[in-house]
Chains A and B, each alone.
Chain A
């Protein structure tokens, strides 16, 4: 109901209210995201059709047969997208296909692909049903297809594009089929679709609310042209749009055949019972977990432009078969930085954790999270408002994944039945290069390296984590072949995949290691790289039960030189690693620098080096309990340095022959344990010493300080500079961070004034 004003004495009559509503409907500026749709992740109530279909009786075995056939159809569609897709994401597995109930609940996903892509599409489907179904200028008819990418309307991030088509019988919508692909390029302020530099929502690139682009089976050329015109890679936009349409149609052919065979009602009942079965099973599994409250707070160290510390708070409470996840205490949104995420994107990664890590045997269905209550206040960086830029929403949503992954390991630690392994945190950052420019073939492109898919796995209670394995968001995703990449883009990975010594979460069992990548452009008139990662100052992944987290890692660059020329002149200089290049600085004319991992698009000249590394999976258990023989083996293989073997693992060995010094090790470990006891404090004493009423003054901190407060601490910038404030979220001022170039200019100008004052020289300024 819309009120004319807020004066309670002027209550409208029903007739007046009707007039007002009609006026308001007719004068709506535009239809933005609908909070009623966007805040709700529960499954829809049974529709009348579903009630009738289920009341008529459900043959469980027939439903199983229908599911199998639908699964086959979805896998067909998936394979077609993967084979035909032009986007790197499609090629290496970042896509899904799924079928939804008429209300938009995912009933079944393809066996492979990104769960989160499909687990979030109920939002745009409900939007289409609510706003476009009965809209005379739009409507929904057989053969129609809707495209969508804007995370504000329900998407992981704006680089993913979906094609959503209705399954209709006798004029009624009885289901939806959709395909989603991580397309990459989307016309954002930086190439590749995930701009770390976006400062307004308009920098995020295409912002497609769900709209009809396929009408009665025909792809609308006018809209296609608009989209192609709006992105850097119009070929990609065209080719992949066709791929998604073809795949969805193929799936629909199979679905139609099933409906023809079993009838509409049985089909509708099958989709719905699948969704409901999963919800019931999830409640049962929740009830297996011990009651209690479990907390896991994380901190991000960067806006991808500045160093800050911003909190992602997550507290799960279980009571019986009820689970509540409370995100309050999370830092506020920053209205001119790209790290904000809509809540739906964070929830989609909760879903990823549930379906891929908690219960990978569970059918892949929206209802897996339907009964979990999420408490969150809009206005945080994990629950950002409409006006916040979201180019790097993964920063918040991947932390949502990590929170759920870590918390389940704790919740399920003592349960007798495990659905998969307890595992320390998977690496959770997109450590790869995004790139853009003109290729050696003359094409304008923008996208990313599939190396992001090599995320190291967390350690298990009985085994080390896997080195750079599939990413947290997609099982069986592929890191691809560098030779294939080099055919298409004008840069080489001079170091492609080499594990970095000591780059693991240490523990009784170590987290998986990550690899380094060193790239340099070659033979291109215009090229550039960017990186979009946090964790360069404060680890993004923590260990478990005494295990260490991932180390921090910098972006390192050598600019102002052409290493190709150096190597041609002196082949011995082709001996690259981040460690070696930065320590030995072998290219005399190079400018060596390190940087946090949020590099905005940076123009790369031929032969300039950009160097990054994957992080590591979290370690499990106390490193002092690791088998000394395993430590020595790691040292012999070059996985760890002697320093780490000695200082972290307390192991002594002869570095010339890698023979374990048993006695020396026992003594070193005993000494380390005694040192721990000496360092130890009673908890109250520890709190007395370490807990402070507020964060260090120099730290730009965002989020609750401590757990028992409703206040959020934030650093805001006034005309007098940064100022710390603390208040309930709703009362906080808007948080924006000044343009760092302006800040730098101001610093330099102040320095110039200072020098003028001390030297007596007056600098000539341009008007």
Chain B
């Protein structure tokens, strides 16, 4: 297997390079003006580490895979074409009104709660670029009002004259019957044929999302339309760069569904958050390969703390209505919970309770923590970490950022010390411990609402601040084992290296598995099976189009189910069932749902008496491929203590006085070594803080265990 995987983040471009049995990681600064430059630099570094040249590598690798934040950045910066929308008569303001709650999507709860300050974000499609057409389907897809073609032509011309550069068509109940959306598309193509220079991209809602919900489907389609051009050009730029360097295969793009596809089979929306989700995918693969059991992946950076859930046994957790930037959308995305807690989280005085509040405000990376000396005046978690002695002021972020502890001290004194009548170091302890506990609460909540317990999980800690706070978070969460995973500095890129080519297709259905009123079980098997067959065919076509043999395509059937009229639809994977052939299969589906539901919420909460519904059928179509081989995480054998490169006084939670603490460097992290806390290990990418009562046991491929003594 020869493979290049790249995760282009906001600051760094991470590269994970597989050359048969050789695995190499490399990083370079992201070059926003031309992503190819950063990519080339990272790849060159990886090649030099492998003793190869770029041209040779690119001509021989079987694939190049990208996870990218391009789409996220474009959304935030609002770089995109002027998108117009055509909606159903009577629904003209559905998009701008954003379900009433659109003012708060993507904000922290303090802003969500502050109704007098509510302000919706500037729309991607302003109201002046929305037109309705006279048409209506009912919930079963029956035509209530036929499409008025002349009305459509008039609206399209108005939009084009108003400057529309892309048109989104999202009509009510089009998932049940897309005839009107297709007809509108035909009219637009007739008015503005593709061969003419004035041709306009047209995106249809039912093709972007098969799920019910006119607002979220329209928003998803709008974001796709908005990002399409910029992503196409940026990815083409990368693709051309590869081609110029000798790579002649299609580039693969990582999806937030946990799979990947060629560029020509990728919606822009599917790329959002694909980097962090590739990290979750890596965690899943690591767990499967090494027998880690239940895993919770955590990525703590400067401004956020991403939590991914990887239970043992391949159970998948998705968000079907995730928030992207400030918008609620409809796309099956691997579940990822993001807390506003990181090194930049600001600590402030809580006058009401005479206490300290940490976050949700963040100093971000600019101005950043006070110690960055870039104008930040408010104390942050990183300031506390620095004062407690955890960080080396001269070697933070591999020396890219010099830290000024006097700024940290001053910020804490000014903002907190006088109010609280406490010493600066005591306050720093409270901040460090407080943020650890907040993240632990987040992990605990994340697990418990899905029926799991933190103590049953291994925590993976990566990201710049992950290994620094790992012991503290684990202690509060009741987690016994923490692993800084192999290739942790490029863990998401590593995950991209494992992904399968995978496509999801789903369709909203109204299947009553058990009708509580008539006390009847579902018996229209042909209808159900026809939907599954259609979705399988679409998935198969996607993969065949990308060059796979139809015989290699595999499918996994999932259904979203609920009791009565619940909002919740629990995703249920039907591992051994792809068609319903009799009442036994219906009862098996009901049982599987009941098991999943009871695990999540407790057996007493299941309410099959209220009826059992299936609202969505989903098929994952994929082909298996080669994967990265993780080495066993238990190296065994005797371990010895390395020799520290320095010692310094460090303040730990639960210890009144500073402890004389050994400091190690990267060289200490070999699998023959053990480092007992208190200790600090500083590497070029992060700092490992080993708290008293914990020990560090490095294993192979750069993985490091934090274990309780």
Which B residues lie within 8 Å of A249 (CB)? Answer: 602
CB neighbours of A468 from chain B (8 A)? 93, 97, 100
User: Which residues of B does A touch, CB under 8 Å?
Assistant: 89-94, 96-97, 99-101, 103-104, 109-110, 112-120, 127-128, 134-136, 138-139, 144-146, 148, 172-173, 175, 212-216, 350-357, 430, 434, 437-438, 441-442, 444-445, 448-449, 510, 512, 515-518, 563-568, 601-602, 604-607, 609-611, 615
Q: Is A53 in the interface zone, CB < 8 Å from B?
A: no
Given A235-B609, A423-B116, A483-B172, decide whether A91 and B567 contact each other with a Cβ distance below 8 A: yes
Contact between A469 and B213, CB atoms less than 8 A apart: no
B603 nearest CB across to chain A (Å)? 10
Q: Which residues of B contact A471 (CB under 8 A)?
A: 100
Partner of B119, one of A463, A476, A478, A572: A463
State the Cβ distance, A579 to closest chain B Cβ, in Å.
Answer: 13
Given the complex, which residues of B lie within 8 Å of A86, measured CB to CB?
Answer: 563-566, 607, 610
Contact indicator B604/A470 (Cβ below 8 Å): no
In the bound complex, what is the Cα–Cα distance between A246 and B604 (angstroms)?
A: 7
Q: Are B212 and A476 in contact (CB under 8 A)?
A: no
> How far does the Cβ of B2 sit from chain A's closest Cβ, in whole Å?
45
B567 A518 Cβ-Cβ under 8 A = no
Contacts A478-B99, A571-B148, A574-B136; A421 near B445 (Cβ below 8 A): no
Stretch at the interface among A297-305, A312-320, A360-368: A360-368
Establish whether residues B93 and A499, one from each chain, have CB atoms under 8 Å apart when the complex forms.
Answer: yes
Contact for A361 among B110, B145, B355, B602, CB less than 8 A: B110
Of the candidates A254, A274, A441, the one having the most CB atoms from chain B within 10 angstroms of its own CB is A441
With contacts A72-B444, A571-B145 known, is A498 near B92, CB below 8 A?
yes
A363 CA to B103 CA in the complex, in Å? 22
A453 touches B100 (CB 8 A): yes
Cβ contact within 8 Å between B610 and A420: no
Contacts A68-B438, A574-B89 given; indicate if A274 touches B138 (C-beta within 8 A): no
Asked if A470 contacts B351 (CB within 8 A), the reply is no
Contacts of A453 in B (CB 8 A): 100
Could you tell me the distance in whole angstroms from the C-beta of A174 to the nearest C-beta in chain B? 20
The interface stretch among A59-67, A201-209, A323-331, A743-751 is A59-67
How many Å from the CB of A276 to the closest CB on chain B?
10
Q: A470 to B610, Cβ gap below 8 A? A: no
A contact residues around B117 at 8 Å (CB) = 360, 420-421
A637 CB contact (under 8 Å) in B128, B510, B610: B128
B145 in contact with A567 (CB, 8 Å): yes
Which of A455, A472, A567 has the largest number of chain B CB atoms within 10 A? A567
Q: Does A369 contact B (CB under 8 A)?
A: no
Q: Are A481 and B212 in contact (CB under 8 A)?
A: yes
- The one of A281, A443, A467, A494 in contact with B352, judged by C-beta atoms closer than 8 angstroms, is A281
Give 6 pairs: A residue, B residue, CB < 8 Å, sorted on A.
A61-B355, A68-B437, A420-B116, A479-B97, A496-B172, A567-B144
Of the listed stretches A33-41, A75-83, A150-158, A532-540, chain B binds A75-83
Which of B90, B110, B175 is the most central at the interface, judged by chain A CB atoms within 10 Å of its CB? B90
Taking CB atoms, residues of chain A closer than 8 Å to B216 are 481
Most chain B beta-carbon contacts within 10 A, residue among A236, A250, A496: A496
User: How far apart are B507's CB and chain A's nearest CB, in angstroms?
Assistant: 13
Q: Considering only CB atoms, which chain A residue lies closest to B427 in the complex?
A: A61
Contact status B356-A111, CB under 8 Å:
no
- Write the nearest CB–CB distance from A66 to chain B, whole angstroms: 11
| Chain B residues in 8 Å Cβ range of A18 | none
Contact A356:B128 (CB < 8 A) given known A235-B610, A245-B604, A484-B212: no
Contact between A497 and B173 (Cβ–Cβ < 8 Å)?
no
Residue-wise, chain A 454-474 has the 8 Å CB interface mask toward B (1 for contact) of: 110100100100111111100
Total A-B residue pairs with C-beta atoms closer than 8 Å?
Answer: 271
Q: Which residues of A contact B212 (CB under 8 A)?
A: 481, 483-484, 487
The answer on a CB contact under 8 Å between A470 and B103 is yes
Contact bitstring A477-517, B, C-beta under 8 A = 1, else 0: 11111111011100011111111000000000000000100
Bound Cα distance A488, B562 (Å): 13
Give A657 Cβ to nearest chain B Cβ, in Å.
14
B126, closest chain A residue (CB): A637
B104 near A357: Cβ-Cβ < 8 Å: no
Question: Which residues of B have CB within 8 Å of A85?
Answer: 566-567
Would B568 and A83 count as touching, CB distance under 8 A?
Answer: yes
Q: Of B114, B148, B215, B449, which one neighbours A80 at CB under 8 angstroms?
A: B449
Cβ of A725 within 8 Å of any chain B Cβ, yes or no, is: no
Q: Indicate which residue in B136, B175, B565, B566 contacts A492 across the interface (CB closer than 8 Å).
A: B136
Say whether A487 contacts B139, CB under 8 Å.
yes
In the complex the two chains form, is A281's CB within 8 Å of B351's CB? yes
Given contacts A478-B99, A567-B136, 4 further A-B contacts (CB under 8 A): A61-B355, A61-B356, A236-B564, A482-B91
Distance in angstroms between the alpha carbons of A362 and B516 in the assembled complex: 45
- From A454, A483, A576, name the one whose CB has the most chain B CB atoms within 10 angstroms: A483
Indicate which residue in B350, B518, B565, B609 contacts A64 across the interface (CB closer than 8 Å): B350
The 3 closest A-B pairs by CB, nearest first: A495-B90, A91-B567, A83-B568
The answer to the question of A278 belonging to the interface, with a C-beta cut-off of 8 Å to chain B, is yes
Say whether B214 contacts A65, CB under 8 Å: no
Q: A475 contacts the other chain (Cβ, under 8 Å)?
A: yes
Contacting residues of chain A (67-118) with chain B, CB-CB under 8 angstroms: 67-69, 72, 75-76, 79-80, 82-87, 90-91, 93, 111-112
B605 x A243 contact (CB < 8 A): yes
Contacts of B441 in A (CB 8 A): 68-69, 72
CB distance B604 to A420 under 8 Å? Answer: no
Q: Which residues of B contact A567 (CB under 8 A)?
A: 136, 144-145
A409 → chain B closest CB, angstroms: 9
Given A86-B566, A567-B144, verify A235-B100 contact (CB < 8 Å): no
A246/B99 in contact, CB under 8 A = no
The verdict on A239 contacting B563 (CB below 8 Å), with A246-B604, A442-B518, A487-B510 known, is yes
